[in-house]
Structure 1
Amino acid sequence: MSTPFLKTQDLSRAFGQKTSLFSKSTSFFASKSINLELAPRERLGVVGESGSGKSTLGRLLLGLTPPTSGEIWFEGVNHKERTARDWQQFRIRTALVQQNPLSALNPQMTIGEQVAEGLLVHRITDRANAYVRAAAMLERVGLSAAMMDRYPHQMSGGQRQRVVIARALILDPKLVVFDEAVSALDVSVQAQVVALLRELWQELDLAYVFITHDLRIVRHLVDRIAVMYLGRVVETGDIKSVYQWPRHPYTRALLASVPTMDPTVRNIEPPIKGELDVGKALHGCPFRSRCPFAIERCSTETPVLRPVGGQQVACHRAEEFPQSIVSPVPGLQKEIA
């Protein structure tokens, strides 16, 4: 059996919080018992609301945040067993693309300096060749090499995002985590960046984890999806299978909330009500307070990921939900026809 390119086992990260100045600190899990595997060149989408633990998972995978418990292996090496030299090689072979390109870039350094910086920090080449490679990478992401001498404030949001992508790819990494990489861009620029990412993946020997709350975008960029809620993966599977027949009430509600341009259909899934409740994650199903299908069992027994159809789903009632999340609007189809 071949070794997974990236693997996590019971990966958890807890943070302390206080509700008031004199209260005792309590712990909540931003990631809880995450078990994932990623193959070379595979594309995984991680979706969920803000506060669901997506970004924490991305930082855990890259070793930027230490886990409270659990294991992470990259190319067969456990993060806990890495030496300083191993970590250096790991940094070369992985990269992070952050949400806000303006805050991710140094306002006092030129674009050329920032894209070439990784090559110089890791002493991969000399300064002259580093700038040549930086110019070539800028052109590869759709920017002119003439922008090498510009500063971040002199560029548009879409251009800055391309710079951040160029900087992430300059070391030829094998794994990239895109953390809400297009959410700060307007729709037209989002489409351009999505097209760029698809082109780059086809050309490069690259696997990536794409973190987002936007289900419109992720379906065009990944092979597999993991839906997170309060630090837990509640559904995972092939992107087409999950979109065609979502098995978890949370996934169904998220997909139903995506606007449709077809006036002949309407969503039939109940909308998500209420706010994220960390207290509900301690026992039972963490989604139960917002789930219209919750039963008594949901408050006493935490559902585990199990095979349902073509997915893995953490829901006691997963087999009961129908395939469709929309229904035809009576009379409107004939009217339009």
Structure 2
Amino acid sequence: MTTPLIEAHDLTKVFRLKSGLFSKAASHTAVNSINLTLAPRDRVGVVGESGSGKSTLGRLLLGLTSPTLGGVSFEGVAHRDRSAQNWKRFRKLTSLVQQNPLSALNPQMTIGEQVAEAVWVHHVDNRKGARERAADMLDKVGLSRSMIDRYPHQMSGGQRQRVVIARALILEPKLVVFDEAVSALDVSVQAQVVALLRSLWQEFDLAYVFITHDLRIVRHLVDRIVVMYLGRVVETGDIRSVYSWPRHPYTRALLASVPTMDPTVRNVAPPIQGELDVSKITEGCVFRSRCPFAIDRCSSETPALREVVGRQVACHRAEEFPRSIMAELEGA
């Protein structure tokens, strides 16, 4: 059996919340008992509203945040067992692309210096060789080599995002986590970056986790999708099957909110009523307070993630939902 590239088991992260001197201690479970496996070249999308735990999951996978329970293994080595030298190798083989490229870049360093930095830090090449590698990488992400001495403020948002991607790929990592990597860009630039990522995936033979709240974008970038709600996985499976026939009410609501190209179709009411309710996380189904299909069983029994027609769903009524609600999206 082939060893997975990265594997998370029962991954849980609880944050202790600040409280006053005489206040009762409080906590927030950002990630709750998640299991996730990626093989080499896998492309997985993680979607959900803000506050669903997506970014925390990404940081846990990269060892940037320590789990409260469970663990993560990369190429068979658990994060908790890594030596300092092994951590350095892990950092060389993995990378993170953050949401805001302007805040991710150092305003006092040139683009070339920032893209090349990892090369000489990891002793892959000297500074001259690192600069040449950086110039080549700028070419690969669609930027001119002449931009190598520019500063971040001298570039557009789309150009800065390409720089951040170039910096993440300069060492040819095996795994990249894209955390809302295109959400700050306008639609035309998003399309360019999506095309770029598809091309780079082919060229660099990497696996990636694409974290986003935008279901319109993610369908063009991944093969498998993980839908999160309040720290839990509520549905996961092949992107085509989940999009064509979502089995969880939350997934259905998210997909119903995706704008269509038909100007005559308009959402009169919001597809998801209410706000995220953290108080329901330990009691029954976490989505029940916002779910129009909730029944009494949802209040008393937490649905387990189970196999339903080729994907996993955490819903007591998963088999009941018809396909017709998604008919207008299939042609999009």
Q: TM-score, normalised by structure 1?
A: 0.94
Kindly provide the CA deviation profile for residues 160-207 of structure 1, in whole angstroms up to 9, marking residues without a partner as x: 000000000001100000000000000000000000000001111200
**How far apart are residue 159 of structure 1 and its match?**
0.3
User: Is 1:196 matched up with 2:196?
Assistant: yes
**RMSD, aligned α-carbons:** 1.6
CA contact under 8 A between 1:244 and 1:324: conserved in structure 2? no
Q: 1:269 Cα shift? A: 10
One-letter amino acid of the counterpart of residue 44, structure 2: L
Give 2:2's aligned residue: 2
Map of 2:56 onto structure 1:
56
CA–CA distance in 1 between the matches of 2:29 and 2:201? 33
Partner of 2:299: 299
For the residue of structure 2 that corresponds to 1:197, the secondary structure is helix
Does 2:146 correspond to 1:146?
yes
Q: Which residue of 2 aligns with 1:280?
A: 280
Distance 2:195 2:230 in 1: 31
Q: AA paired with 1:140?
A: K
- Deviation (angstroms), 1:262: 2.9
Q: Determine the C-alpha separation between the residues in 2 that align with 1:260 and 1:205.
A: 33
Task: Check whether the contact 1:267–1:325 (CA below 8 A) recurs between aligned residues.
Answer: no
Match for 1:254: what amino acid?
Answer: L
Partner of 2:215: 215
- CA drift of 1:22 comes to 3.7
Contact kept in structure 2, 1:266 and 1:326, CA below 8 Å: no
How big is the shift at 1:263? 5.3
The within-5 A match list for 1:1-337 is: 1-18=1-18, 22-262=22-262, 271-326=271-326
Q: 1:327 and 1:266 mapped to 2: Cα distance?
A: 15
Is the 1:266–1:327 contact (alpha carbons within 8 Å) kept by the matching residues of 2?
no
**Partner secondary structure for residue 325 of structure 1:** helix
* Aligned CA distance change for structure 1 residues 157 and 199 (closer, same or farther; 3 Å): same
Q: CA offset at residue 19 of structure 1?
A: 6.7
Q: Is the contact between residue 305 and residue 312 of structure 1 (CA under 8 Å) also seen in structure 2?
A: yes
For the residue of structure 2 that corresponds to 1:293, the secondary structure is: coil
SS at match of 2:28: strand
Number of positions where the alignment pairs a residue of Structure 1 with one of Structure 2: 328
Give, as a single letter, the amino acid of the residue that structure 2 aligns with 1:141. Answer: V
Partner amino acid, structure 2, of 1:111: I
CA offset digits 1:78-113 (Å, max 9, x no partner)? 111111111000000000000000000000000000
Question: Which sits farther off after the overlay, 292-301 or 218-227?
Answer: 292-301
- Contact 1:14 1:27 (8 Å CA) reproduced: yes
Deviation sequence 1:233-253 (CA, Å, 0-9, x none): 100000000000000000000
Query: What SS does the corresponding residue of 2:138 show, helix, strand or coil?
Result: helix
- For residue 99 of structure 2, give the secondary structure of its aligned residue in structure 1: coil
Residues 191 and 327 of structure 1: CA distance in aligned 2, closer, same or farther (over 3 Å): closer
- Conservation of the 8 A alpha-carbon contact between 2:245 and 2:326: no
> CA contact under 8 A between 1:265 and 1:326: conserved in structure 2?
no
With 194-203 and 319-328 compared, the bigger mean Cα shift is at: 319-328
Shift of 1:326: 4.5
Shift of 1:26: 1.4
Amino acid at match of 2:112: G
Does the aligned pair in 2 maintain the 1:224–1:236 contact within 8 Å? yes
Structure 2 distance, partners of 1:166, 1:128, is 18
User: Contact 1:4–1:37 at 8 Å: present in 2 too?
Assistant: yes
Quote the offset at 1:154 in angstroms: 0.4
TM-score by length of 2: 0.95
The answer for unaligned runs of 5 or more in structure 2 is: none
Q: Is contact 2:11-2:71 (8 Å) kept?
A: yes
Q: Which runs of 5+ in 1 are unaligned?
A: 329-337
Distance 2:145 2:327 in 1: 51
